[in-house]
Amino acid sequence: MKFHHYGLLVSDIDTSIDRFKSFNYEMVIKDKDELQQAELSILENKHSRIELVCPFADNESLNKLLRNKSDNGYHLCFEVQDIDLTCKELKKNKLV
């Protein structure tokens, strides 16, 4: 299992992009994801990768998280060779 990126839930994607650019991150992609009902942006520097997730106005579940806290950690993403095997192992070890 290899760490891929840290997901951050944000209320304003453009302000958040500017904030990370001030820390020497470069925007790799910015796109709208209809399935997740959110605008997404990936930013990288030579040490790490961040995914900003900004929910659409009608995405009640993510907007509820933002109402309870401002910008906050949302997920960690890992690369794996076999997703099914990895899920079984994580469940076996009570990590999910």
Q: In whole angstroms, what is the distance from residue 54 CA to residue 41 CA?
A: 9
Q: Which pLDDT score, from 0 to 100, does residue 28 have? A: 96
Q: What is the pTM of this model?
A: 0.84
Q: Which two tokens stand for residue 34?
A: 């209809």
Q: Is the dihedral of CA 7, 20, 26, 68 positive or negative?
A: positive
* Contact in structure between 32 and 39 (CB atoms under 8 Å): yes
Q: Which pLDDT score, from 0 to 100, does residue 69 have? A: 75
Q: Which pLDDT score, from 0 to 100, does residue 71 have? A: 58
Q: Which two tokens stand for residue 3?
A: 């760490």
Q: Which pLDDT score, from 0 to 100, does residue 84 have? A: 95
If the chain, 96 residues long, is cut into consecutive pieces of 10 residues, what is the mean pLDDT of each piece? 92 95 96 95 96 94 83 86 94 90
